[in-house]
Amino acid sequence: MDTDKPQAVERFDNPKPLFPGEHWVALGGGLAAWLATRKNQSLAIRTLGTFIAATLVARAAHGHKAMGNVMRWTPVGGGIKRGG
């Protein structure tokens, strides 16, 4: 039985950075998206901003234990337990 994942699934499960330092750019973009939309009067804009921020910060934290600690300070990352 062949247990290898198709290449597309493998890329989705374990994304490789597109360039060195990509995780810092994704973190900055996520925080910027959250800060830019968090006080908007529209619930849709705030929700979209939170979703984009969480997605970018999760991308930044993927595979980086130290970045996981940073993610705890985001709006939806408060429930993340500190890894040891």
CB-based contact 38:31 (threshold 8 Å):
no
**Residue 57 domain-assigned (yes or no):** yes
Q: Is 28 helix (H, G, I), strand (E, B) or coil?
A: helix
Asked whether residue 3 is domain-assigned, the answer is no
Task: Please state, in angstroms and rounded to a whole number, the distance separating the CA atoms of residues 32 and 49.
Answer: 9
In a domain, 62, yes or no: yes
Place of tokens 């993610």: 71
Crossing angle of the two packed helices 43-61 and 22-37, in degrees rounded to 10: 160
In a domain, 42, yes or no: yes
Q: Does the model's pTM come out above 0.75? A: no
**Closest among 75, 78, 83 to 56, alpha carbons compared:** 75
Structural domain span for residue 68: 21-84
pLDDT digits (tens, 9 = 90+) for 26-65: 889 988 998 999 999 999 999 999 899 888 887 877 766 6
Could you give the 3-state DSSP secondary structure of residue 47? helix
